[in-house]
Amino acid sequence: MTSYVKQLALAAGLTCAFVAAAPAAEKHKVFLSMSYIGNDWQAEAANMVKALAASKDYADKVDLQVQVAGPNAQRQIQQINAMVQAGAEAIVVYPISPTALNQVVKNACSKGVKIVAYDAEITESCAYNVTIDQEEAGRKTAEWLADKLGGKGDIVLITGVPGTSVDIARTKAAKEVFAKHPDIHVVGEAVGMWSQAVARTELSKLLATRKWDDIDGLWMQVGCYTANAMQLEAGRSEDKLVPCAGEGSNGGRIQALAKGTEVEGASSPYAPLGAPRISYASPPYSGALALKLAVDMLEGKDVPHHTTLPLPLVTNDTIKLCETGSWEEMKNGCNTFKPSIVANPGWFGSIFSDQLPQLGLNAALVGQPET
């Protein structure tokens, strides 16, 4: 081999060595800041965020760390400050308050950190928000209930997590609707914390001074499934279940299927009852979409400051049972899952987004991506 050829071979070898040794691109440091987590929706939303971060499209881009503050604004403020100090590039957040976090968010933004809130809003102008129209949710469900009752009757309200923009907007809008009907009387109201278990406790307290026969309708941010179960436990027949305007739990949607519908894995009360229902929910995928938008911004893409998601409204007439729960099946419009597939009746069914092909049934159930 000539000296010249040897030099070429050596250069080629060095080039290959440099290529092989080239470091992988650093991952973006992203934090998930959660507040109250004591309900099915929050667990499901967190699963979907984690699943997106673990998907093949994001696993090499995102280093996701999760912290939980609980329903304590001061603790969430402290955690967000610590995230910024730890080098956060973006923070995806479920804020316990629309205003309490404003100063810490403003400080984070001043240091170049992208802040994206999901479901509940942050009012600081530098923050990005991903939500449904919460007032529309409260208004449309209240209108359905008022119409179902013919504009008269005694109703009970079970609200959400106090102080959140979600609860404030939904409850305000619903009460404005009921106020237009002088013959609709709110005979009981309690805080339900978006939890089936808390809804049961609070309904039990209200029923200590009245019977189910004294209640004509229910407006519940979460708890329609449990309310139907409680009525059956009290000896009411399935055809006497009161109309319930409430959350998008899978159990509540199964109960709204026509009585006698054959559904694999169904067993009362997690079974078709013909219960009169309108079902809505903030889609649990909103947190994952917030993560997607945060990464988009870190990659230099333009993102709207407020992303308003479609409001998933389902009634007895529009329930569509999924056979397998595949992504393609959900894309074609199914919105309710067999108990043999989803064992937890409090699990939320509105999980499909065509913007997130990485996420399907297993993302919501166990935090595993499709791809």
**Residue 86 scores a pLDDT above 70:** yes
Domain membership flag for residue 75? yes
User: Which residues have a Cβ under 8 Å from the Cβ of 62 and sit 6 or more positions away?
Assistant: 27, 28, 30, 53, 291, 295
Cis bond upstream, residue 162 (ω within 30): no
The model carries a pTM of 0.91
Please check whether residue 349 lies inside any domain of the structure. Answer: no
User: Are 116 and 242 in a shared domain?
Assistant: no
What is the pLDDT, as a whole number, of residue 7?
Answer: 44
- At 37 the pLDDT is 83
The CATH number covering residue 37 comes to: 3.40.50.2300
* Sign of the CA dihedral with 95 first, then 97, 100, and 106 last: positive
Q: Which of 243, 263, 280 is the last residue of a domain?
A: 280
4 pLDDT more than 60: no
Number of domains in the chain: 2
Rg (CA), the chain: 24
**What pLDDT does residue 38 have?**
82
Question: Which neighbouring-strand residues pair with 308?
Answer: 131
Which of 280, 296, 318 is at the close of a domain? Answer: 280
Q: Which residues pair with 315 in a beta bridge?
A: 278
Paired tokens of 24: 């992988």
Same domain, 302 and 212: no
Q: What is the pLDDT of residues 227-278, one digit of tens each?
A: 999 999 999 999 999 999 998 999 999 999 999 999 999 999 999 999 999 9
- Decide: 51 and 367 in contact? Cβ < 8 Å: yes
**262 and 164 co-located in one domain:** yes
The whole-angstrom separation of Cα 321 and Cα 337 is 6
The answer on 199 and 125 residing in a single domain is: no
Secondary structure E strands in 166-322? 183-191, 217-220, 244-247, 277-280, 306-308, 314-315, 321-322
pLDDT tens digits, 15-42: 444 344 445 579 999 999 998 888 899 9
Together in a domain, 266 and 232: yes
Say yes or no: 153 and 250 in one domain.
Answer: yes
Domain that holds residue 152: 134-280
Query: Is the domain of 182 the same as that of 264?
Result: yes
Neighbour-count burial of 264, counting CB atoms closer than 10 A to its CB (0-12 exposed, 13-18 middle, 19+ buried) = exposed
Q: How far apart are CA 230 and CA 167, in angstroms?
A: 24
CA distances from 123 to 95, 120, 218, 302 (A): 10, 10, 31, 20
Tens digit of pLDDT for each residue in 290-327?
Answer: 999 999 999 999 999 999 999 999 999 999 999 999 99
Judged by average pLDDT, the poorest of 17-21, 168-172, 336-340, 347-351 is: 17-21
Cβ neighbors of 101 (< 8 A, separation 6 or more) are 73, 76, 77, 80, 93, 95, 122, 124
Taking Cα atoms as reference points, which of 191, 200, 231 lies closest to residue 215?
231
Which pLDDT belongs to residue 36? 81
Let me know if residue 335 belongs to a domain: no
**Which of 183, 188, 260, 274 is closest to 228 using CA atoms?**
274
Please report whether residue 359 resides in a domain: no
User: What percentage of the chain reaches a pLDDT higher than 70?
Assistant: 94
Whether residue 360 has pLDDT greater than 80: yes
- What local confidence, expressed as pLDDT, does residue 32 receive? 98
Query: Once rounded to an integer, what is the mean pLDDT over residues 68-97?
Result: 97
Domain check: are 78 and 152 in the same one?
A: no
Residues 104 and 15 grouped into a single domain: yes
Would 64 be classed as within a structural domain?
Answer: yes
pLDDT by residue (tens digit) across 123-165? 999 999 999 999 999 999 999 999 999 999 999 999 999 999 9
Per-residue pLDDT at 8 exceeds 90: no
Q: pLDDT averaged over the chain?
A: 93
